[in-house]
Structure 1
Amino acid sequence: MEKKSNDYYALKKSTTVIQKSHFFQSSWTFWFDNPSSKSNQVTWGSSLRSLYTFATIEEFWSLYNNIHPPTKWVPGADLYCFKHKIEPKWEDPICANGGKWTMFFPKAATLESNWLNTLLALVGEQFDQGDEICGTVLNFRTRGDRISLWTKNAANEEAQLSIGKQWKELLGYNEKIGFIVHEDAKTLDRHAKSRYTV
């Protein structure tokens, strides 16, 4: 058996140091909703599944680089990135009293960069009111795609307005965006009106 030289062990040790993981402040989970098994609102959530939880920069890029870009998805698909242990459902106790900010993207060309920049702002803790944020959702639709930010406490107007304004600034988004309370969305569906706008 060949004996390893001291140089080999020194190189192996230095390589280990280089590959040190860089942890985020929070762990995050990617979720996916498969539209083919979603027949109506009653069964919503039955096709929602957790893909992978990540805690480091290295894990994030490994996952992101291996997920098909949204432009290659089937219309109706949803991809979520939520803080670990928060499910992307209105019924989740942390989401129950919250709501969401939504941006619309009629052209797929800007969707991918805005999705990535939203993810980076979240996992990199770029929001002043980051503790208020549950996660983000990308909805790929035939009539125009959407990215939403879900938050915890819809009644906290100051926090919600701060998040909405900062998100627009981070993405350089010039259109008006609205915040819809989850409870309103549940009872009024598509007729729910924005509680706040920025």
Structure 2
Amino acid sequence: MATEDVNEALAAAEVPATETTEKQPADKLERKWSFWFDNQSKPKQGAAWGASLRKAYTFDTVQDFWGLHETIFIPSKLTPNAEIHMFKAGVEPKWEDPECANGGKWTFVVTSNRKPALDKAWLETLMALVGEQFDEADDIQRNLTENPLSRLESFFLLLSSRPSRRLRICGVVASVRPKQDKLSLWTRTKSNEAVLMGIGKKWKEILDVTDKITFTNHDDSRRTRFTV
């Protein structure tokens, strides 16, 4: 699919649902998630920030997640200055949203092998979010580390083993720029240092990178607070 076609499909929010059959019942996720798209490559004069932000699709099954990601929501297919977001359903990827207003973000800048590395980091982060891996560490996660299963086995085990909790993460943003691509993981809090450091260390482990990732508050995005 050409880049222009991808951007048009996302901007139009015409994303088909993944079909399920009686032989393949839908596997429900812990919560609903929404994909959003923002194309700032051709901003309209005088337009307010976020004017081009559009919700594309809300899903709550494993099948829809994989279908949407593999068909459309891949960052490397975007033109420069476009962004894809995956946030909890009901939360807008804006600092002003009540779930995000008192939070901040961890940022990972892709420095080498840009497009493949961006796509890999994006997918690993999405899987961690829908798999509820950003909650407090527990025996399940430790067991998976000590006794590695296949990615798919780990994914379903985590889905089936966690009770419903209020996630500490709002969502993730993939930003494609002419000279630099990055991922930003938005948090609900900016005040609980222990929680924030736990999230940062967990994310870096999920990304499996040696590069530093940094945390900034939404209301003071120029000042780095933490680095792991």
Query: Normalised by the size of structure 2, how large is the TM-score?
Result: 0.73
Q: 1:116 aligns with which of 104, 116, 123?
A: 123
The number of aligned residues is 178
2:81 counterpart residue number: 76
Give SS of 1:173's match. Answer: coil
Give SS of 2:133's match. Answer: coil
Q: CA deviation at 1:156?
A: 1.1
Q: Structure 2 matches for 1:128-167, cutoff 5 A?
A: 128-129=135-136, 131-167=167-203
Matched, 1:171 2:178: no
Percentage identity across paired residues of the two chains: 47
Can you list the C-alpha shifts for 1:160-184, whole angstroms capped at 9, x where unaligned?
1000000001111111111100011
Give the aligned residue type for 1:152.
R
Give the aligned residue type for 1:131.
L
Can you list the C-alpha shifts for 1:25-52, whole angstroms capped at 9, x where unaligned?
1100000001234357962111000000
**8 Å Cα contact 1:75-1:141 kept in structure 2:** yes
**8 Å Cα contact 1:99-1:151 kept in structure 2:** yes
Q: CA deviation at 1:128?
A: 2.3
RCO higher in 1 or 2 (8 Å CA, sep ≥ 6)?
Answer: 2
Give the aligned residue type for 2:178.
T
1:41/1:109 CA distance change after superposition, 3 Å: farther
Q: Give me the whole-angstrom Cα distance separating, in 2, the residues matched to 1:119 and 1:97.
A: 23
Q: Give me the whole-angstrom Cα distance separating, in 2, the residues matched to 1:41 and 1:149.
A: 29
* TM-align CA RMSD: 1.9
Give SS of 2:79's match. Answer: coil
Q: Give me the whole-angstrom Cα distance separating, in 1, the residues matched to 2:201 and 2:48.
A: 34
1:180 counterpart residue number: 216
Q: 2:57 aligns with which of 32, 35, 52?
A: 52
1:193 counterpart residue number: 223
Give the aligned residue type for 1:197.
T
Q: Give me the whole-angstrom Cα distance separating, in 2, the residues matched to 1:62 and 1:52.
A: 12
Q: Give me the whole-angstrom Cα distance separating, in 1, the residues matched to 2:98 and 2:182.
A: 24
Compare CA radii of gyration and give the structure with the larger one: 1
2:108 counterpart residue number: 103
**8 Å Cα contact 2:78-2:176 kept in structure 1:** yes
Query: Normalised by the size of structure 1, how large is the TM-score?
Result: 0.84
User: Mean alpha-carbon deviation: is it higher for 51-60 or for 123-132?
Assistant: 123-132
Q: 1:28 aligns with which of 12, 23, 33?
A: 33
Give the aligned residue type for 1:161.
M
Give SS of 2:170's match. Answer: strand
Q: 1:18 aligns with which of 23, 34, 51?
A: 23
1:9 counterpart residue number: none
Q: Which structure has more helix as a fraction of its residues?
A: 1
Can you list the C-alpha shifts for 1:101-147, whole angstroms capped at 9, x where unaligned?
00011322211111111100001111125711000000001111000
**8 Å Cα contact 1:37-1:47 kept in structure 2:** no
